[in-house]
């Protein structure tokens, strides 16, 4: 499926809403997590793109992505691999949010000092995720409309 909007359509995975004001990508292979996030994002009127591997992160037009939610561990890497794949070479980097199952407090603080926007418990409430989105949008001038 060729899309003139993408520079290299032969190898890039299209975003669901490439011209949307607020583009969100979710990287998870966990079906339960996906279902929960689908309900939440639907309520927030966000139509995210869904990926399940780090390799897929390397194939999307990253400069259009504003926020990324990712599991701590994936089948082909971890959140640092997602961070690297999604931010490499970009001046304006997307906000990366990690869903943690096992990170210590020190590891969470280190991740946030190193550029991760937020580290949330895998079992956090939908309200916590919603507030994370709201806070990220406030820090992104294009998303205020």
pLDDT of the residue at 22: 81
Strands (E), the chain: 24-27, 49-51, 67-71, 73-74, 77-78, 95-100, 118-121
Cα end-to-end distance, the chain, whole Å: 31
Which pLDDT value is given to residue 15? 55
The rounded Cα 113 to chain-centroid distance in angstroms is 18
Cα–Cα distance measured from residue 58 to residue 129, given in angstroms and rounded to the nearest whole number: 25
pLDDT at 5 (0 to 100): 30
- When computed from its CA atoms, the radius of gyration of the chain, rounded to whole angstroms, is 14
Return the structure tokens found at 6: 């993408």
Query: What local confidence, expressed as pLDDT, does residue 138 receive?
Result: 87
Spatial distance between the Cα atoms of 37 and 41, rounded to a whole number of angstroms: 6
Q: What is the pLDDT along the chain (145 residues), one digit of tens a residue?
A: 333 333 444 455 555 555 557 899 999 999 999 999 999 999 989 999 999 999 999 999 888 899 999 999 999 999 999 999 999 999 989 999 999 999 999 999 999 999 999 999 998 999 999 999 999 988 766 654 4
Domains in the chain, please, with CATH?
A: 24-140 (3.40.50.2300)
């Amino acid at each position: 499926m060729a899309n003139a909007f993408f520079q290299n359509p032969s190898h890039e995975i299209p975003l669901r809403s490439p011209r949307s004001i607020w583009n969100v990508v979710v990287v998870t292979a966990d079906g339960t997590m996906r279902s929960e996030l689908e309900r939440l994002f639907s309520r927030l009127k966000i139509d995210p793109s869904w990926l399940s591997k780090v390799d897929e992160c390397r194939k999307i037009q990253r400069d259009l992505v504003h926020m990324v939610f990712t599991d701590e561990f994936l089948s082909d890497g971890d959140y640092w691999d997602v961070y690297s794949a999604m931010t490499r070479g970009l001046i304006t980097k997307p906000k990366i949010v990690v869903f943690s199952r096992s990170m210590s407090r020190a590891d969470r603080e280190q991740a946030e000092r190193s550029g991760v926007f937020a580290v949330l418990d895998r079992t956090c409430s939908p309200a916590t995720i919603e507030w994370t989105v709201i806070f990220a949008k406030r820090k992104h001038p294009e998303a205020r409309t």
